Chain A
Amino acid sequence: MGLSLPTVPSGEANFLTTRLDYVVNWARRNSLWPMPFGTACCAIEMMAAAASKYDLARFGMERMSFSPRQADLLICAGRVAYKMAPVLRRIWDQMPQPKWSISMGACASSGGVFDVYSMVQGIDTIIPVDVYIPGCPPRPEGLIYGILMLHEKIKGESLSNPALREEDPSRVGEPNLPDGVIEELALPYGNSTNQNKVSGLVTTTALTRPADRKP
């Protein structure tokens, strides 16, 4: 948007820049302010992670910011419906850089048990995701493990790599992945192709894929 971060020219890492990177990354990862985008059951586990037993405050994350403009980390906890998708995209767009995102739970990562007409099959089709946490719901320890993984990722970042924090303003509000990739990721697989038939002898024009069924 016209502002550019003060960066060193790419590739010119020296003693000062690595020291600077170390300090900046240390500061960023130890005070990640989460934007809790909690929708369903995973949100309850996120709340449990924030409570006394699994305390997120020891990571500097107890200050849950509900305004995206003051948040660093979007934790999408729970299933996202297509009706909710523009909201998620908008909140992601409203977060200023540096920002990261965690997709918590099976539904946010891939649609989970809900391979249905109204559910987004993974939020990475809408926003870029840094860490995926599987589970239904993942235990609070799982969420913490994912956060620590994100810490490792942040440790490896560098200010001399401007592509990390780049965002294309013309792509605000657009899906994150191209159409072909979305289709490929959303193909039913495994047992879900066998669970396509409705009850009894009721005939439907429901989509059946006999070729997908295992012999």
Chain B
Amino acid sequence: MSTRTVEYLVQRTPEMAPGGRLVQVPVLPGGMEPELHGEHMLINIGPQHPATHGVLRLVLELDGETVVKCTPHIGYLHSSFEKLGEYRTWNQVIPLTDRMDYLAPLIYNCAYAMAVEKLMGIQVTERCKVTRVICMELDRIFSHLLWLGTTAIDIGAFTVFLYTFQERERIYTLHEALTGARITTSATRIGGMMADLPEGWIRELRHFVDTVPRTLDEVETLLTNNQIWIGRNQDVGVISAEDAVSCGLTGANLRASGVAFDVRKDRPYYDYETYDFDVPLGEHGDCYDRYLCRMEEMRQSLRILDQAIERLPAGPMNVDDPRLILPGKTDAMTDMESMIHHFKVVMEGVKAPVGESWFSVESSKGELGMYVVSDGGSKPVRWRIRGPSFINLSALPTMVEGSLLSDVIAVNASLDIVLGEIDR
């Protein structure tokens, strides 16, 4: 993996001394005036709060403005996807997967389909593989754009939110052309995709890939060397590599601390080892490094998209297996065999062999694992989602204890969490 050195411009938010000089003011935990007896204050952020990125509740114990203890409370969006999955057939689970990480739905669709296909021992077609790579990388950009917009708006830069949402509208249009829905795409099926790529979709996608770097450059101009951005993000929410691995952090959060772990590189799937791309690695494990890692990840995703568009082969999208894939409408209406297969696939559902599979992909938030257990029926016995945000959030107290109250918001934003995935 490639490394990139981060330049340090400012150590800490400077303050003005009389006379206009800038001085560094260190923050001592425990307060600077020990003779004043103070007690710790308990404040509650959320679950309804603009900056918590969803229904997250943080209870902070403060000593002045320094955070002594931070306890995240979750479960305010618990929709029991895992229980619901046990009552739905393998294909009926796919619309549920969109609603967990609603910022990158195609990644979830693909990850679930890939886990079940691994369980069933199905090899999808080449066209399907490349299409799913395109979908996953497109949604990685989709998710990072939202992360960028909401993080900027939390720190105070409203313009970036409008820029990134304008770019996201173009991806919404792509989603809609592909599946009919903007967010809740449900694009995959066991054994293939819901439909082949529509006419002109690749042309639109190529146009997007060619023009989005302009917006990314503009956002970088606004943020990367901006004193306020640096002051609020450098040295904030630092986590060491050992702590990060022990806490189970994944994704850009882990790589910003210098640990080289990316599922696409370490456990490649769908020929990722044949694509030419780099994974950015940070050094300091602070919010600024996480920001730089994600910006670079977006550019690398564009690189992968370029290559995937080039190598997209013609051919069938779905596996040619009547036990899995619905036959075409003409066949189902004219041929008895096809009609029976259509009937069985719709009424009974696709059946999986006895067994289990734990499969993970590199989602925009981290390592997304799908564990499916089957007893030979058409519904899962157990569907477990290893949501990266759930575990990333559990590391928040480690990152935030000892810093200031406003840093909590910056660190929370830099973790890139989505509550649908945390609460499942």
Contact = CB atoms under 8 A, between A and B. Distances in A.
Interface of A: 37-41, 43-45, 47-48, 51-53, 64, 66, 78-79, 81, 83-84, 87, 91, 113-114, 116-119, 136-137, 139, 195-202
Nearest to B351: A200
Given A39-B419, A136-B184, 18 more contacts: A38-B54, A40-B54, A40-B99, A41-B183, A48-B168, A53-B165, A64-B50, A66-B50, A79-B77, A81-B77, A83-B75, A87-B47, A114-B80, A117-B80, A118-B78, A118-B79, A198-B86, A198-B87
Interface stretch (B219-227, B279-287, B318-326, B376-384): B376-384
Interface of B: 47-50, 54-55, 75-80, 83-84, 86-88, 92, 95-96, 98-99, 102-103, 146, 161-162, 165-166, 168-169, 172, 182-184, 374-381, 419-420, 423
B169 A202 contact: no
A113 B96 contact: yes
Kindly name the residue among A114, A117, A197 whose own CB sees the greatest number of chain B CB atoms within 10 A: A114
Contacts of B420: 40-41
* A-B interface, 10 closest residue pairs, ranked by CB to CB distance from nearest: A200-B377, A51-B165, A41-B102, A199-B379, A84-B76, A199-B377, A200-B375, A66-B50, A116-B80, A53-B169
Contacts of A139: 182
B375 A199 contact: yes
A3 to B, nearest CB: 26
A10 B376 CA distance: 69
A66 B47 CA distance: 12
A40 B76 contact: no
Which of A40, A52, A78 is the most central at the interface, judged by chain B CB atoms within 10 Å of its CB? A40
A32 to B, nearest CB: 18
10 contacts: A39-B76, A40-B77, A44-B103, A47-B165, A113-B84, A117-B83, A196-B87, A199-B380, A200-B376, A201-B377
The interface centre, meaning the residue of B48, B80, B162, B172 with most chain A CB atoms within 10 A of its CB, is: B48
A136 B75 CA distance: 21
A52 B116 CA distance: 39
Contacts of A44: 102-103, 146, 183
B78 A81 contact: yes
Main secondary structure, interface of B, reads loop
Given A79-B77, A116-B80, A84 B47 contact: yes
Contacts of B95: 113
Contacts of B375: 199-202
A35 to B, nearest CB: 9
Contacts of B54: 38-40, 43
Contact of A116 (B79, B103, B381): B79
A22 B54 CA distance: 38
A114 B377 CA distance: 23
A81 B87 contact: no
Contacts of A81: 75-79, 423
Contacts of A114: 79-80, 84
Given A40-B102, A113-B96, A199-B377, A83 B78 contact: yes
Contacts of A41: 98-99, 102, 183-184, 420
A202 B87 CA distance: 12
Contact of B55 (A39, A137, A195): A39
Contacts of A48: 165, 168-169, 172, 182
A58 B166 CA distance: 17
A48 B260 CA distance: 35
Contacts of A195: 87-88, 92
Contacts of A38: 54
A139 B378 CA distance: 33
A5 to B, nearest CB: 28
A197 to B, nearest CB: 7
Contacts of A137: 182-184
A51 B48 contact: no
A44 B77 CA distance: 15
A195 to B, nearest CB: 5
A119 B79 contact: yes
A137 B181 CA distance: 9
Contacts of B75: 81, 83
Contact of B379 (A47, A52, A78, A198): A198
Contacts of A196: 87
A111 to B, nearest CB: 10
A53 B161 CA distance: 12
Contacts of B99: 40-41, 113
A207 to B, nearest CB: 11
A85 to B, nearest CB: 10
Contacts of A200: 375-377, 379, 381
A78 B47 CA distance: 14
Contacts of B378: 199
Residue of A64, A196, A198, A202 most packed against chain B (CB within 10 A)? A198
A48 B172 CA distance: 10
A136 B182 CA distance: 10
Contacts of B84: 113-114, 116
A87 B146 CA distance: 26
B162 A84 contact: no
Contacts of A113: 84, 95-96, 99
